[in-house]
């Protein structure tokens, strides 16, 4: 009988200190540190979606000014992808879907990576709250799931990042 390979526990994730610092800044840095204007400040001005692939966490960070990055906890990723208009537009849609689904979010207690098989979101609000929501990845992919639309919008951001990376000839470590 075959045993299904179990994903590594979160403690076994490969972590690059620079990537962890960038993630922490997005989740806890001040509005000023992140270069965001306060007026007008949209109700959700930063959104994060994370999940585990192998021994790495993948973190999508999208900010209301279009700034968008995709980090891999073991190192690497795409920083500044929001400079491309299609990425910035998709980022705005992702933040809008997070706002629409805000009733699914609760105040964040900590900022642990999600366990394998779970997608976790964080959002930062105009009230300086940091909220979170998560669900099993196989459930969130279902159209009727309460977090499907933010997940699908985040996937559209990632698709735009991949397309832009192909246009400029960079490697796509997310594939």
**pLDDT for position 37:** 63
Higher pLDDT residue, 80 or 8? 80
With respect to residue 2, please indicate whether it lies within any of the assigned structural domains.
no
What pLDDT is attached to residue 172? 46
Task: Tell me, yes or no, whether 4 lies in a domain.
Answer: no
**Within-domain flag for 1:** no
**Domain that residue 132 falls in:** 10-163
What pLDDT is stored for residue 159 in this prediction?
A: 94
Give the residue, 71 or 5, on which the prediction is more confident: 71
Classify residue 104: in a domain, yes or no: yes
Does residue 5 form part of some domain?
A: no
Here the contacts of 166-174 (C-beta below 8 Å, separation 24 or greater) are 170/78, 173/72, 173/76, 173/77, 174/58, 174/70, 174/72
171, part of any domain: no
> Which CATH number is 41's domain given?
3.30.1560
Determine, yes or no, domain membership for 45: yes
Tell me if 91 is assigned to some domain: yes
Provide the domain count of the chain: 1
Q: What is the model's pTM?
A: 0.86
Q: Rounded distance, CA 125 to CA 69, Å?
A: 19
Residue 35 tokens read as 């270069």
Per-residue pLDDT at 173: 46
Q: pLDDT digits over 15-55, tens only?
A: 999 999 999 999 998 777 777 666 677 889 899 999 999 99
| pLDDT tens digits, one per residue of 47-106 | 999 999 999 999 999 998 888 999 999 998 888 887 888 999 999 999 999 999 999 999
- 28 in helix, strand or coil? helix
């Amino acid at each position: 009988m075959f045993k299904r390979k179990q994903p590594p526990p979160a403690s076994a994730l490969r972590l690059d200190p620079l990537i962890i610092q960038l993630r922490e800044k997005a989740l806890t840095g001040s509005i000023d540190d992140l270069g965001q204007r306060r007026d007008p400040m949209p109700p959700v001005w930063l959104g994060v979606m994370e999940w585990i692939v192998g021994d790495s966490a993948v973190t999508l960070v999208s900010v209301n000014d279009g700034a968008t990055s995709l980090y891999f906890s073991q190192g690497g990723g795409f920083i500044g992808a929001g400079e491309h208009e299609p990425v910035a537009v998709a980022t705005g849609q992702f933040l809008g879907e997070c706002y629409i689904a805000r009733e699914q979010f609760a105040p964040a207690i900590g900022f642990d990576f999600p366990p394998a098989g779970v997608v976790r979101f964080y959002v930062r609000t105009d009230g300086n709250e940091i909220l979170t929501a998560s669900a099993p990845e196989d459930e969130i992919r279902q159209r009727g799931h309460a977090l499907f639309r933010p997940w699908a919008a985040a996937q559209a951001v990632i698709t735009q990042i991949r397309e832009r990376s192909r246009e400029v000839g960079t490697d796509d470590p997310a594939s």
